[in-house]
């Protein structure tokens, strides 16, 4: 393998966490058969993880030039040498060539909510159940509501932060209704939209919004705890419920479990095929907010964490997939 240059996006410890410098460095050669050299096409912005989409060009005998791979463990670089054991091949046909979709609906976010809803929501088609999704216009929330509807929920209500996002949920994704938490009284709006109460709550944000939803949940209902974005700047990212809300939870026998998709690896293959099928049939809609350039990673992350994106926040590093 010839030596080549790579742009590295490096955070300096003396700077603000989202301030970075872009440096050019020389990559070493692959030194053993486990390593592969890969080029970054897209980088994923998530509160909870980073998946990566890349092109493989290395020595590892499990890969050939032209393979597309993903990994959790990817630095913010244009080109990098990684251990092939942490890479996973993906098939572009599953996404009709839209490679960035492996970082969202046909990847870990999609799997998280497909398996989470299947395992924890206790949805039964035809049972007239109501689902509420917070953070509903983001990468995960937008998928969660669609999956809940596809699996049999009679009513899906999303909570988000702008009129544009509310319209997106109801006009494009099939949500029955949406609440802008920045306008009006959320508790009153929720009661009006869900007069029979809430059966399943996809909790992506935590905080006051979650307290409001939980207070209107039914007996023996279910909370799927997949994120607490409003709490991530605190020392305890998954803080306990307020005592009054905890009392409601116990009194109504509401389950509240943190869901970790990595505990269900045996379901990944079937899950990806199901998500791909829904996508190809037009049943699962995918939305991206894109920004170009490695130098904009910090800005993209900050925008994602403050609700600046609709759907998945993607950073395009190299849109050229040619070999």
pTM: 0.81
pLDDT at 283: 97
Cβ atoms 34, 303 nearer than 8 A: no
Instruction: Find, among 29, 91, 85, 82, the residue nearest to 62 by Cα.
Output: 85
Pairing, β 68-70 against β 88-90: antiparallel
pLDDT at 304: 85
Tokens of 52: 């990566």
Burial class (CB in 10 A: 0-12, 13-18, 19+), 59: middle
pLDDT at 240: 81
pLDDT at 49: 36
pLDDT at 25: 63
pLDDT at 219: 98
pLDDT at 30: 73
pLDDT at 149: 96
pLDDT at 259: 77
pLDDT at 140: 87
Tens-digit pLDDT string for the chain (323 aa): 222 333 333 333 334 444 555 566 666 777 677 788 888 888 876 654 333 333 444 456 688 888 999 887 777 788 888 888 888 899 999 999 999 999 899 998 899 899 999 999 999 999 999 999 999 999 889 999 999 999 999 999 999 999 999 999 999 999 999 999 999 999 999 999 999 999 999 998 888 999 999 999 999 999 998 754 433 344 444 568 899 999 999 999 999 987 788 899 999 999 999 999 999 999 999 999 999 988 888 888 888 888 889 989 999 987 554 43
């Amino acid at each position: 393998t010839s030596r080549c240059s790579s742009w590295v996006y490096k955070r300096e410890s003396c700077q603000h966490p989202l301030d970075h410098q872009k440096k050019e460095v020389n990559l070493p050669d692959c030194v053993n058969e486990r390593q592969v050299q890969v080029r970054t096409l897209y980088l994923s912005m998530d509160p909870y993880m980073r998946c990566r989409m890349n092109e493989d060009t290395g020595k590892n005998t499990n890969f050939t030039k032209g393979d597309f791979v993903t990994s959790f463990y990817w630095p913010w670089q244009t080109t990098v040498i990684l251990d092939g054991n942490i890479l996973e091949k993906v098939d572009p046909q599953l996404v009709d060539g839209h490679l960035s979709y492996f970082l969202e609906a046909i990847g870990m976010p999609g799997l998280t909510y497909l398996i989470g809803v299947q395992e924890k929501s206790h949805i039964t088609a035809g049972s007239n159940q109501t689902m509420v999704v917070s953070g509903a216009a983001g990468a995960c929330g937008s998928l969660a509501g669609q999956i809940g509807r596809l699996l049999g929920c009679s009513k899906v209500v999303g909570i988000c932060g702008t009129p544009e996002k509310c319209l997106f949920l109801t006009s494009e994704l099939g949500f029955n209704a949406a609440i802008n938490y920045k306008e009006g009284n959320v508790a009153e709006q929720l009661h009006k939209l869900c007069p029979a109460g809430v059966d399943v709550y996809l909790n992506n944000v935590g905080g006051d919004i979650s307290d409001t939803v939980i207070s209107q949940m039914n007996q023996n209902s279910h909370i799927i705890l997949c994120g607490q974005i409003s709490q991530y700047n605190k020392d305890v990212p998954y803080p306990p419920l307020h005592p009054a809300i905890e009392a409601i939870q116990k009194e109504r026998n509401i389950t509240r479990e943190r869901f970790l998709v990595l505990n269900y690896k045996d379901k990944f293959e079937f899950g990806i095929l199901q998500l791909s099928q829904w996508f190809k049939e037009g049943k699962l809609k995918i939305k991206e907010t894109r920004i170009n350039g490695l130098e904009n990673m910090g800005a993209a992350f900050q925008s994602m964490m403050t609700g600046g994106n609709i759907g998945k926040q993607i950073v395009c590093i190299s849109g050229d997939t040619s070999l």
